[in-house]
């Protein structure tokens, strides 16, 4: 089965998300679609999956034109998709999720759950998965949830399978396993489209690579191309793959965490007795697969977690038990992992967002009233200093691109006098230009003598910025290692294996 | 290729499903303790001597149950001790991290209610049959309304407009019932009227993404305005030709209706009550056991996921909402085809809001919501019964009960429970 | 706001480093009046006006459909169409001129004082609508849906009434004390919902709805109990009339019913405007309303904000109740004291888009509809509930601008 996209154009108002994109993928082939965040990869796949209708262009399956008015048509044609954000109903069982949309029924529309269970078992067996058809999806680990997504697509006899950024939530080992599954599928004749912005993975698995930038195909590459070549093609200019920084000049320990334990309302521990220190002028990177306690760590520091035990000391201040406001007042800057949820008020102007965490007094507020003149001057200056591209300080934050939104958050936090910077996923969903800018700011903050806690699930980012790396696994510290530790070792640590010669 | 061995299990999901959040487990014993204390205070401070008589029989039963006469004070204190025992059991379970089972809460409620009735009806005689049977009658619109609410919300549309659906249903039933000269015509009209309100709700909430709470509240006002306007302008001019519907009469079911207690309470009712039994069963079955129900729930929990497997989200929401409107509208028919002889302005008196409370109190589940609606019907009827025998409790406090219970439930017991994830969230494709 | 970059269509294909708008396009700095003009044509103001127009059209149709003359003449429309059209014209013009005479200026009366009286009635009705509308709108801005206006007004009216009849003081002290007691009672009643939301996340829509009924029965109980609020020796659920010392002074002399409650409303508009647009507290209200997660991460105590905003909102709604008992219906506290204002307030707040000046305008409009509605009922026999219909239709239309634009084939909103 050969899938061909010819001249696909998709517009959103004045924006051209996909500009005359053409590509082909054949039976038993893995085509990688490479591009940075916001290049239009997902839009293209949503067109292919019938979620969006293309404004121009056609899709051909084995040479016959295909009309897709919805995902139902795509599935009927044998196109399946493993979504980046899993399209699973959390409160349904695996079997219910797999059968949803093409339910086998008995008398009077009664669900035939047995048939669905059988189908799940059958496909699981074929690929060596171990998935319980009656498990609630929300109780499954993300890696297994992804397998449910794959089962779901295969249960409809998908011959073309699209994987949309499938490795974002996986450990390096799980990623390897996923690649094994993809090879197995390829061997059985499935055509695979693999969407990613991770050069390493693309080179490892793809038969061919198509690079798109700003909505258009900018070139083809073979898996033998170097990282630098691919990156340059993807971004449109030579990219510095490494961050320039001087060796750290760590001062005395400024930030000391001892026996930190964080539990949820149910009493389950998300962080179980972790300890570490960060010195002045040092970046401590926290590596680990998403969901191993990183979120709880940053939130515990900020006072956003309810059940925190142990000690978090910043210079002479104990932070445990303090309100968020007290923590901020102690000079802690916070770049939250999801800027749209925790970082910005989308309906507020840039100026208002810049004073969001300083509404309780000087310099922005006096006698309960906002000093609008001061705020405007400040916002204007900050906008220029941090290179935020917007129509002005009155532009709504929600209308900015991801990179500019993140710059507003970074600007707000770094424009205060800091004693600690907590940066969680500071470059997630951000374009390369902004990534470079934000990385420079993080390094500059370190060089100004501020301890920095950097949390990221992108191992490359951790390695590039950190002076030391702490690996979290299931709420515990696997080890704290130097920044030049080999990636393979870090990968094993992220899976919970403690390398020899390192102390927790 | 083995997979599970090395897959790290993120610890933010509870591995053992039995475990219950400690705070949630503690809520039940605390609530039970508070109620036990209240009952004890009530009978301790307002001691009432005498005997309480419970009548359980009607004259057409297979056999007669005797009247039960109990010494009020002694009975009440015995019950308080039993209540305390239930509370202790619940606390014991909580200390082991287990949730209080529903049957224990049910038993507790039954004991507490008996204690209260024994105390309130001291030196009086209480007809239990009348009390329970009347409760069912009063609960009919609440049950229908709550079922409509559950359906809508399971599909992701918050329905504050239940009251509007009941009121419009009552109006249509009265007018059309009179015009066609048959209560069945009235019932059909009531269902269509409920569906019409649902259609407007859907139009604004689904097609135009207007906040569902806003549309619901405004629709209630609109229906009040519309029915009152038409009542004043048209119905009062021609009461005989437009507002004198024929009624559904009581339809005792042979055999079943003659079982003592159960018979007169459940099976000597109007056809609307029997329809209600059917509706509850059908809705519960359809929602959990059929393809349609699976899709409705998927659309209410994760509409995008439903879309990606080819389910038309907004069409599903519309059809579910329309069915919900038909059901709620049938509840409205009770007012003008059973309870009173004609339509009157604002005659539902906010019953739709009680139905809404039942939806939430019943945790968006058709059976639980029905039980909640029955409970609220019981509270209303209890107030009526007590005012007849001269209640020691001011009637206003009895009438307040469903609302207070709901606030407590929302704040405490139900606080942790989960509405459908996409409840109230419009689905935009792009 | 939960959309992620990859799922959000707008920036998906945007030039990587630029803002959403094409960087080649010069930054738009339109003149102040250009902006105003565009706002009027494509913006919300136009939608508001058209919504009112649409609602009035529907209201007219209802009047026509139920008018006997119109129905009769429609029966022989083929034979004598002029009869039909003149009946339509008579019906509609009579209704709306009665409305106008009741709400603004009564040309049927002699002397300016008599003729302008309806306008003062409109202002009288507008006062509590504005106050309660501010209460609902302010809570809205902090993300709280206050449907509890009825209960808050009842409790406030009962508290103010209780101070009125049970305390004996000179006016200078008595009136402010009664007003304060009312505002406080409203604040506390709404505060329950804020407190529960902050403590346990209990949904305020449900809690405020339930509190309406609890408040109703509570006040009912107090009014039927000797020694609490019931007038001594009476069997009716009603209190004594308010003594002179707590009655809000008339603004234009005894010939007019307009009382100082309207001034309170105007002051409240100014205060709420300052609060929302200029104060740090209002900034936090808005931050919590737009994105509670971001507010929390920025050190704002979200729970306390919910409580504080509900206290203030309840106080404002309470003032509407005070306005009723100490100004409009001083004959005594009853359970009908709220006169539907608690729910009207929701429509006022929505029409005014939860902005103080918008609420002022919406309150005046609905006040006029109310005053005119009564005159329409008296003069033409059209049930006063037509006002409710028009009012709710206005809000429905205004909540769905795309619908209104589609009906009138207007261009899309500039920023959409």
**Most confident of the ranges A35-39, A138-142, A195-199, B148-152:** B148-152
> How would residue B17 be classed by pLDDT, with cut points 50, 70 and 90?
very low
Asked if residue B298 has pLDDT above 90, the reply is yes
Using the predicted structure, report yes or no on whether residue C15 has a pLDDT greater than 50.
no
Of residues A261 and A13, more confidence is placed in A261
Q: Name the band, by pLDDT with cuts 50, 70 and 90, for residue B321.
A: very high
Whole-angstrom distance between the N-terminal and C-terminal Cα of chain A?
52
CA atoms within 13 A on the CB side of B273: 23
Q: Is residue A386 part of a domain?
A: no
Distance CA B146, CA B364 (A): 9
- Measuring CA to CA, how many Å separate B235 from each of B179, B232, B243, C21, C328? 12, 6, 6, 59, 32
A212 versus A14: which is more confidently predicted?
A: A212
Determine what percent of chain A falls in helix, strand and coil, rounding each to the nearest 5.
Answer: 35, 25, 40
DSSP-assigned beta bridge partners for residue B390 = none
Q: Where are the beta strands (DSSP E) in A62-181?
A: 64-66, 79-82, 160-164
Domain residue limits at A273 = 253-348+402-408+417-494
The residue ranges of DSSP E strands in B184-230, in sequence order, are none
Instruction: Report pLDDT for C381.
Output: 83
Q: B1, B2, B7, B288: best mutation site toward chain A, by most A Cβ within 10 Å?
A: B7
How distant, in Å, are the alpha carbons of A266, B28, B411 from that of B21? 4, 12, 16
Q: pLDDT band at C299, cuts 50/70/90? A: very high
| Confidence tier at B1 by pLDDT (50, 70, 90) | very low
pLDDT of the residue at B413 = 58
Contacting chains of C (3 CB pairs or more, <8 Å) are A, B
Say how far apart CA B102 and CA B125 lie, in whole Å: 31
- State which of B280-294, B367-381, C363-377 shows the largest mean pLDDT: B280-294
User: In Å, how far are C30, C45, C49, C50, C277 from C40, measured between CA atoms?
Assistant: 15, 5, 10, 11, 22
**A138 and A97 within one domain:** yes
**What confidence score (pLDDT) does residue C164 get?**
92
What count of residues does chain A have? 504
Q: Is A357 exposed, middle or buried (0-12, 13-18, 19+ CB in 10 A)?
A: buried
Token pair for residue A335?
């770049």
Mean pLDDT value of segment B86-109: 85
* Tokens standing for residue C385: 């509930």
Position C315 pLDDT exceeds 80: yes
A14 in contact with C, Cβ within 8 Å: yes
CB C367 within 8 A of CB C125: yes
Give per-residue pLDDT as tens, C395-405: 899 888 888 88
Residue B8's pLDDT band (boundaries 50, 70, 90)? Answer: very low
SS3 A58: strand
Residue A502: its pLDDT value, please? 53
Question: The domain that contains A447 carries what CATH number?
Answer: 3.40.50.300
Q: State the CATH architecture for B129-413.
A: Orthogonal Bundle (1.10)
Q: Residues in chain B whose beta carbon is closer than 8 A to a beta carbon of chain A?
A: 1-4, 6-15, 17, 19-24, 289-292, 294-295, 297-298, 301-302, 304-312, 418, 421, 429-430
Average pLDDT of the segment spanning B395-409: 81
Q: In terms of domains, do A324 and A452 share one?
A: yes
- The end-to-end CA distance of chain B, in Å, is 40
Indicate if the pLDDT at residue C21 is higher than 50. no
Plot region of B344 (φ>0 → left; ψ -120 to 50 → alpha; else → beta):
beta
What is the distance between the alpha carbons of residues C344 and B218, in angstroms, rounded to a whole number? 9
SS3 A195: strand
Out of C16, C20, C297, closest to residue A334 by CB: C297
Residues of chain B contacting residue A76, judged by C-beta atoms under 8 Å apart: 310
Residue in this structure with the two tokens 């009432």, named with its chain if needed: B48
Residue spans per domain, chain C: 34-103+364-409, 133-354
Instruction: For C259-295, write each residue's pLDDT tens digit.
Output: 999 999 999 999 999 999 999 999 999 999 999 999 9
pLDDT at A205: 92
Confidence of residue A229 (pLDDT cuts 50, 70, 90): confident
State how many domains chain A has: 2
Least confident window among A183-197, A381-395, A418-432, B55-69? B55-69
Average pLDDT over residues C19-37: 40
* Cβ proximity of A235 and A213 under 8 Å: yes
**Domain end position, chosen among A235, A264, A293:** A235
pLDDT of residue C13: 34
Interatomic CA distance for residues C121 and C102, integer angstroms: 8
Which of B10, B12, B309 comes nearest A100 by C-beta? B309
Whether pLDDT at A378 is above 90:
yes
Q: Residue B360's pLDDT is what?
A: 83
A contacts of B312 (beta carbons < 8 Å): 70
Q: How confident is the model at residue A421 (pLDDT cuts 50, 70, 90)?
A: very high
- Whole-number pLDDT of residue B23: 57
**Cβ pair B308:A12 closer than 8 A:** no
Q: Please state which of the ranges B295-299, B328-332, C75-79 shows the lowest mean pLDDT.
A: C75-79
Instruction: Report yes or no: A94 and A46 within 8 Å, Cβ to Cβ.
Output: no
Instruction: Suggest the residue from B149, B153, B197, B222 to mutate for an interface test with chain C (most C CBs closer than 10 A).
Output: B222
Which of A90-94, A193-197, C59-63 is predicted most confidently? A90-94
What is the structure's pLDDT at B142?
95
Contact residues on chain A for C6, CB-CB shorter than 8 A: 37-38, 42, 84, 165, 429
Q: What CA–CA distance (Å, rounded) separates A257 from A88?
A: 38
Instruction: Say what the pLDDT of residue C43 is.
Output: 58
pLDDT of amino acid B4: 30
State the nearest Cα–Cα gap between C171 and chain B, in angstroms: 34
Residues of chain C above pLDDT 70, percent? 88
Using the beta-carbon criterion (under 8 Å), do B208 and C400 form an inter-chain contact?
yes
pLDDT band at C413; cut points 50, 70, 90: low
Cβ–Cβ < 8 Å for A260, A310: yes
Q: What is the mean pLDDT of residues C227-236?
A: 87
In a domain, A19, yes or no: yes
Chain B closest-CA separation from residue C391 CA (Å) = 8
Question: What pLDDT does residue C284 have?
Answer: 96
Q: Is the CB of C200 less than 8 angstroms away from the CB of B221?
A: no
Does residue A47 sit in the same domain as residue A171?
A: yes
Count of other CB atoms within 10 angstroms of residue B96: 7
% of chain A surpassing 90 pLDDT: 56
Domain boundaries, chain B: 23-123, 129-413
d(CA A323, CA A339): 21
pLDDT in tens, A304-339: 998 999 999 999 899 999 999 999 999 999 999 989
**Does one domain contain both A163 and A279?**
no
Which of the four pLDDT bands, split at 50, 70 and 90, describes residue C340?
A: confident
Q: Quick check: A427 and A406 in contact, CB under 8 A?
A: yes
Q: Are A235 and A430 in contact (CB under 8 A)?
A: no
Closest partner CB to B8 (pick from A147, A264, A473): A473
Which of A201, A235, A269 is the endpoint of a domain?
A: A235
C32 min Cα distance to partner chain B (Å): 31
Q: What is the mean pLDDT of residues A132-150?
A: 89
Tell me the chain A residues in contact with residue B292 when contact means C-beta distances shorter than 8 Å: 109
- Closest Cα in chain B to C208: B407
Q: What is the pTM of this model?
A: 0.86
DSSP character at residue C129: H
Query: What integer pLDDT is reported at residue B16 of this predicted model?
Result: 35
Kindly report which listed range (A185-189, B163-167, B183-187, C202-206) carries the lowest average pLDDT score.
Answer: C202-206
Position B60 confidence tier, pLDDT thresholds 50, 70, 90:
low
- Say if A375 falls within a structural domain: no
> How far, in whole angstroms, is CA B229 from its chain's centroid?
29
Residues A220, A270, single domain; the answer is no
Q: Which residue is closest to C285 within chain A, CA to CA?
A: A359
Q: Quick one: pLDDT at residue A500?
A: 65
C300 pLDDT tier (thresholds 50, 70, 90): very high
Length of chain C equals 416
pLDDT of residue B61: 67
């Amino acid at each position: 089965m050969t899938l061909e996209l010819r001249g696909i154009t998709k517009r959103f108002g004045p924006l051209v998300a996909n500009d005359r994109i053409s590509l082909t993928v054949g039976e038993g082939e893995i085509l990688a679609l490479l591009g940075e965040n916001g290049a239009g990869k997902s839009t293209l796949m949503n067109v292919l999956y019938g979620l969006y209708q293309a404004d121009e262009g056609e899709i051909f399956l084995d040479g016959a034109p295909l009309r897709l008015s919805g995902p139902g048509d795509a599935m009927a044609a044998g196109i399946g998709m493993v979504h980046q954000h899993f399209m699973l109903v959390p409160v349904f069982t695996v079997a219910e999720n797999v059968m949803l949309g093409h339910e086998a029924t008995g008398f009077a529309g009664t669900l035939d759950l047995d048939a669905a269970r059988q189908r799940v078992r059958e496909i699981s067996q074929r690929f060596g998965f171990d998935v319980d058809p009656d498990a609630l999806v929300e109780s499954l680990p993300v890696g297994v949830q992804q397998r449910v997504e794959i089962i779901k697509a295969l249960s409809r006899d998908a011959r073309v399978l699209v994987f949309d950024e499938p490795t974002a939530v996986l450990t390096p080992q799980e990623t390897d396993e996923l690649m094994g599954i993809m090879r197995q599928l390829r061997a059985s004749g499935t055509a695979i489209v693999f969407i990613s912005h991770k050069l390493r993975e693309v080179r490892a698995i793809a038969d061919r690579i198509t690079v798109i930038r700003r909505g258009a195909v900018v070139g083809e590459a073979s898996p033998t191309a170097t990282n630098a070549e691919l990156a340059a093609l993807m971004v449109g200019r030579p990219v510095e793959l490494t961050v320039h920084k001087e060796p750290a000049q760590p001062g005395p320990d400024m930030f000391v965490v001892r026996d930190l334990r964080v539990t949820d309302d149910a009493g389950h521990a998300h962080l179980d007795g972790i300890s570490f220190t960060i010195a002045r002028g040092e970046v401590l990177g926290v590596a680990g697969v998403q969901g191993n306690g990183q979120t709880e760590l940053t939130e515990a520091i900020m006072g956003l977690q309810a059940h925190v035990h142990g000690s978090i000391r910043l210079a002479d201040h104990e932070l445990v038990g303090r309100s968020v406001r007290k923590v901020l007042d102690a000079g802690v800057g916070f770049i939250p992992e999801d800027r749209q949820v925790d970082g910005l008020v989308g309906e507020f102007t840039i100026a208002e967002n810049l004073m969001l965490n300083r509404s309780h007094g000087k310099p922005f507020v006096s006698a309960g009233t906002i000093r609008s003149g001061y705020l405007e001057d400040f916002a204007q200056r900050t906008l220029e200093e941090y290179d935020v591209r917007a129509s002005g300080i009155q532009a709504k934050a929600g209308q900015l691109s991801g990179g500019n939104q993140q710059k507003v958050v970074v600007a707000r936090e770094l424009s205060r006098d800091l004693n600690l910077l907590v940066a969680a996923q500071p470059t997630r969903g951000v374009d390369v230009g902004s990534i470079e800018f934000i990385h420079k700011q993080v390094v500059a903050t370190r060089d100004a003598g501020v301890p920095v806690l950097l949390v990221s699930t992108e191992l490359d980012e951790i390695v590039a910025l950190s002076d030391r790396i702490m690996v979290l696994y299931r709420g515990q510290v696997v080890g704290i290692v130097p920044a030049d530790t080999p990636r393979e070792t870090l990968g094993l640590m992220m899976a919970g294996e403690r390398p020899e010669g390192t102390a927790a | 290729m083995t997979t599970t061995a090395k897959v790290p299990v993120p610890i933010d999901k509870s591995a053992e499903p039995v475990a219950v959040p400690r705070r949630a487990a503690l809520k039940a014993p605390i609530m039970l303790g508070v109620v036990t204390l209240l009952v004890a205070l009530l009978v301790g401070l307002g001691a009432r001597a005498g005997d309480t008589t419970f009548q359980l029989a009607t004259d057409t039963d297979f056999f007669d149950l005797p009247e039960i006469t109990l010494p009020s004070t002694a009975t009440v204190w015995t019950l308080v001790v039993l209540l305390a025992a239930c509370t202790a059991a619940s606390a014991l379970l909580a200390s082991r991290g287990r949730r209080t089972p529903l049957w224990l809460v049910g038993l507790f409620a039954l004991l507490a209610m008996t204690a209260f009735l024994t105390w309130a009806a001291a030196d009086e005689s209480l007809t239990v049959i009348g009390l329970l049977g009347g409760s069912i009658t009063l609960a009919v619109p609440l049950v229908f309304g709550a079922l409509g609410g559950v359906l809508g919300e399971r599909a992701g549309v918050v329905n504050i407009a239940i009251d509007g659906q009941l009121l419009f249903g009552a109006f249509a039933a009265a007018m059309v019932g009179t015009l066609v000269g048959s209560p069945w015509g009235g019932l059909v009209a009531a269902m269509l009227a409920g569906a019409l309100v649902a259609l407007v709700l859907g139009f604004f909430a689904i097609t135009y993404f207007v906040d569902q709470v806003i549309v619901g509240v405004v629709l209630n006002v609109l229906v009040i305005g519309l029915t009152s306007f038409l009542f004043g302008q048209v119905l009062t001019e021609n009461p005989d030709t437009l507002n004198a519907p024929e009624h559904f009469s009581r339809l005792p079911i042979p055999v079943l209706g003659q079982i003592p207690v159960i018979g007169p309470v459940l099976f000597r009712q109007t056809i609307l009550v029997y329809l209600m039994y059917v509706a509850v069963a059908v809705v519960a079955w359809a929602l959990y056991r059929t393809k349609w129900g699976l899709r409705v729930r998927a659309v209410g929990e994760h509409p995008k996921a439903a879309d990606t497997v080819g389910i038309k989200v907004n069409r599903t929401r519309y059809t579910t909402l329309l069915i919900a409107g038909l059901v709620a509208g049938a509840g409205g028919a009770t007012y003008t085809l059973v309870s009173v002889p004609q339509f009157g302005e604002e005659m539902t008196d906010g019953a739709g809001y009680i139905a809404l409370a039942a939806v939430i109190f019943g945790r968006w589940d058709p059976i639980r919501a029905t039980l909640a609606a029955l409970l609220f019907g019981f509270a209303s009827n209890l107030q009526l019964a007590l005012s007849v025998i001269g209640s020691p409790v001011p009637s206003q406090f009895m009438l307040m009960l469903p609302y207070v219970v709901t606030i407590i439930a929302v704040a405490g017991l139900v606080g942790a429970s989960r509405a459908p994830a996409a409840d109230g969230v419009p689905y935009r494709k792009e | 706001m939960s959309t992620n970059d990859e799922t959000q269509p707008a920036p998906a294909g945007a030039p990587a480093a630029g803002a959403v708008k094409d960087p080649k396009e010069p930054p738009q700095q339109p003149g102040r009046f250009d902006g105003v003009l565009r706002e009027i044509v494509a913006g919300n103001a136009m939608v508001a006006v058209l919504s009112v127009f649409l609602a009035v059209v529907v209201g007219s149709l209802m009047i026509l459909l139920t008018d006997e003359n119109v129905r009769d003449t429609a029966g022989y429309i083929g034979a004598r169409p002029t009869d039909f059209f003149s009946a339509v014209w008579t019906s509609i013009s009579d209704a709306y001129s009665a409305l106008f005479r009741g709400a603004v200026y009564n040309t049927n009366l002699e002397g300016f004082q008599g003729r302008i009286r309806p306008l003062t009635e409109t202002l009288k009705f507008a006062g509590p609508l504005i106050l309660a509308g501010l209460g609902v709108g302010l809570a809205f801005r902090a993300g709280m849906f206050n449907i509890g206006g009825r209960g808050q007004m009842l409790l406030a009216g009962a508290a103010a009434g209780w101070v009125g009849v049970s305390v004996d003081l000179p006016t200078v002290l008595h009136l402010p004390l009664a007003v304060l007691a009312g505002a406080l009672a409203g604040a506390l009643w709404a505060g329950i919902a804020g407190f529960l939301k902050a403590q346990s996340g209990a949904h305020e829509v449900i809690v405020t709805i339930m509190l309406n009924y609890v408040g109703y029965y509570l006040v009912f109980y107090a009014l039927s109990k000797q020694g609490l609020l019931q007038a001594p020796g009476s069997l009716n659920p009603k209190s004594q009339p308010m003594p002179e010392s707590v009655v809000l002074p008339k603004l234009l002399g005894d010939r007019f019913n307009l009382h100082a409650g309207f001034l309170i409303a105007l002051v409240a508009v100014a205060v709420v405007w300052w609060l929302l647009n200029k104060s740090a507290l209002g900034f936090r209200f808005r931050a919590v309303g737009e994105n509670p997660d971001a507010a929390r991460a920025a050190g704002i105590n979200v729970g306390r904000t919910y409580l504080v905003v509900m206290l203030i909102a309840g106080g404002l709604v309470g003032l509407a109740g005070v306005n009723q008992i100490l100004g409009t219906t001083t004959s005594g506290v009853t359970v009908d004291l709220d006169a539907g204002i608690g729910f009207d307030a929701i429509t006022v707040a929505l029409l005014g888009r939860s902005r103080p000046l918008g609420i002022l305008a919406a309150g005046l409009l609905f006040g006029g509809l109310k005053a005119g509605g009564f005159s329409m009922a008296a003069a033409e026999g059209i049930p006063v509930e037509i006002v409710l219909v028009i009012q709710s239709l206005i809000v429905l239309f205004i909540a769905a601008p795309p619908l209104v634009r589609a009906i009138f084939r207007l261009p899309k909103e500039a920023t959409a």
